[in-house]
Amino acid sequence: MAILKSYGVCLREYTPQFPRPNHGDNYKSRNVKWRSPRAAVIPDFHLPMRSFEVKNRTSAEDIKSLRLITAIKTPYLPDGRFDLEAYDDLVNIQIGNGVEGVIVGGTTGEGQLMSWDEHIMLIGHTVNCFGGSIKVIGNTGSNSTREAIHATEQGFAVGMHAALHINPYYGKTSLEGLVSHFDSVLPMGPTIIYNVPSRTGQDIPPRVINTIAQSPNLAGIKECVGNDRIEQYTGNGIVVWSGNDDQCHDARWSHGATGVISVTSNLIPGLMRELMFGGKNPSLNAKLLPLIEWLFQEPNPIGLNTALAQLGVVRPIFRLPYVPLPLAKRVEFVNLVKEIGRENFVGEEDVQVLDNDDFILVGRY
């Protein structure tokens, strides 16, 4: 501390010394040009914080081959903290049913309700426990480029295999700004770009994707605009995952999509794997559509949180502003489970209709 204090004193007492004219010279005055410290003029002085050991562990090509990726749910304890035991059970169920990757802290996982400390901790926990069995894709995107850079550096530092990046929302930017935003994070490692205009208020057009596709770290696009857009990309050799569970069967088998990044697979991972790996199966797709429509009748993850609680695999705890579906919709879910078959859903307890008083809503955590 003494050294630090003395250093601080030195800084306060230090006054820059500039050459002064020597009146003995033949010149009446001499112009002095101040030069900035070298660090201030070195290009790219802020070097990326990365480890080649982590970076080289998974390539973009490894990510491109994934067919079924689950946007995993984050469960909570009664005080609003993460329920890691329930979370671990959910991930193990995904692995046991052949899911190849998980999105950690995405919209479904409520990354928008997490602090960055929570977010990076959960990514690191997932890598530490399951990184050898499933690809861990951390949602480290942000509408702030500075935050996206920082979170992505940390995500790769704790071992995530790839990053998921959304375009800046609310404070939207230009198309050139989108390219600059994505160019700021792509050099760090394998990256999936997420296009969901219904949430961001801005479409990422093909012009932007075709520009950033020059990066070897672009693994592909999670596309929610529709199957025509998906086919436009796949026709040009760009990997695409459907972001719409209700369209993913046709996207996979008729429009060239590699697979799906799914919400529904939280509930029925085995059937979603069959949908992505088993070839065209319109009858199975039709069987699942009522469940998918039920899940998305309110903004995700409200339906999923309600369903998992009624299946007994997570506690019925919601971080506000999310609240459970109303009683009538909870009854509908029980009937859907019976129609599809309880054995196809996660968990072992009987599905039940929860009362309003069974749910805990947490605003401070």
pLDDT attached to residue 6: 41
In this prediction the pTM is 0.87
Q: Which amino acid is at 226?
A: G
In whole angstroms, what is the distance from residue 69 CA to residue 139 CA? 13
Binning pLDDT at 50, 70 and 90, where does residue 30 land? low
Mean pLDDT of the chain: 90
Tens digit of each residue's pLDDT (9 = 90 or more) over 61-120 = 999 999 999 999 999 999 999 999 999 999 999 999 999 999 999 999 999 999 999 999
The one catalytic residue in 76, 135, 222, 322 is 222
Rounded to the nearest 5°, which phi and psi values hold at 139? -80, 95
List alpha helices for 264-326, DSSP H.
269-277, 282-295, 302-310
Query: Does the annotation mark 64 as catalytic?
Result: no
Query: Does the annotation mark 233 as catalytic?
Result: no
Superfamily of domain 60-278 in the CATH hierarchy? Aldolase class I (3.20.20.70)
The one catalytic residue in 76, 194, 233, 322 is 194
Q: List CB contacts of 351: < 8 A, sequence separation 6 or more.
A: 310, 311, 312, 333, 334, 337, 338, 342, 345
What single DSSP character describes residue 351? P
Tens digit of each residue's pLDDT (9 = 90 or more) over 246-289 = 999 999 999 999 999 999 999 999 999 999 999 999 999 999 99
The domain limits of the chain are: 60-278
* Strand, coil or helix: 185: helix
Count Cβ atoms below 10 Å from residue 159 Cβ, excluding itself. 19
pLDDT attached to residue 58: 87
